[in-house]
Structure 1
Amino acid sequence: LADSTAEHHPYWALLYNCSQISKTILEKWNDDLTEEDLSEIRWMISELENSCNKLKNKVDQDSKDK
């Protein structure tokens, strides 16, 4: 999917950050991860947590609205 289309989907941030983590790990498969790599991965994990929280809040709100 094109980024401009996909970024409006509610799951886009989850998929994007997961793929970025995977990309980083695969690029370093035969090497060691640097502190910078690990810092970026930690940041992406925090973005995953934020995205999950937003989705959970939406599910919770939708449940209340029913």
Structure 2
Amino acid sequence: MDDFDHACKRVREQLDKYCTSARSSKYVDADIFTIYGADVSALKEAIYGLRHIEELAYTVAEHHPYWQILSSLTEAIRVTLERWDSDMSAKDVEDIKWCLSGVADALAKPHHHHHT
């Protein structure tokens, strides 16, 4: 067991002892350990995860050939998650369609086809 695994185990033990309503998750393949409060729903967890994807998209900006795909899909997912418990407006639908057209445009560029 490495230091990270040992630290995660100690944190879990402390959570079990002092904060039984919290839950934790360790992503073994990425050395990521997260702690969630009792009120964290699957929707909140998805929105939190999307923020990491948005940060990646903003960080690489237009310097990566797949940036437009990632950025457009992230925006479409964000609108969808924001409206998850309510109705989408006509503007929301149009925004998602616009994002998806950005994906289609990016996929039509030749440099996206060399991996097939």
Distance in 2 (alpha carbons) for counterparts of 1:14 and 1:2: 9
TM-score (ref. length: structure 1): 0.76
Q: CA RMSD in A?
A: 2.0
- State the 1:8 CA deviation: 1.0
Percent identity reads 32
Structure 1: 5+ residue runs without aligned partners? none
Name the CA shift for 1:28/1:2 in 2 (closer, same or farther; >3 Å).
Answer: closer
Aligned residue type for 1:7: E
Structure 2: 5+ residue runs without aligned partners? 1-55
- The partner residue of 2:107 within 46, 52, 55 is 52
TM-score (ref. length: structure 2): 0.45
Kept after mapping to 1: 8 A contact 2:57/2:70: no
Name the CA shift for 1:21/1:52 in 2 (closer, same or farther; >3 Å).
Answer: same
- The structure where strand makes up a greater share of residues is 2
Higher RCO (C-alpha under 8 Å, 6+ residues apart): 1
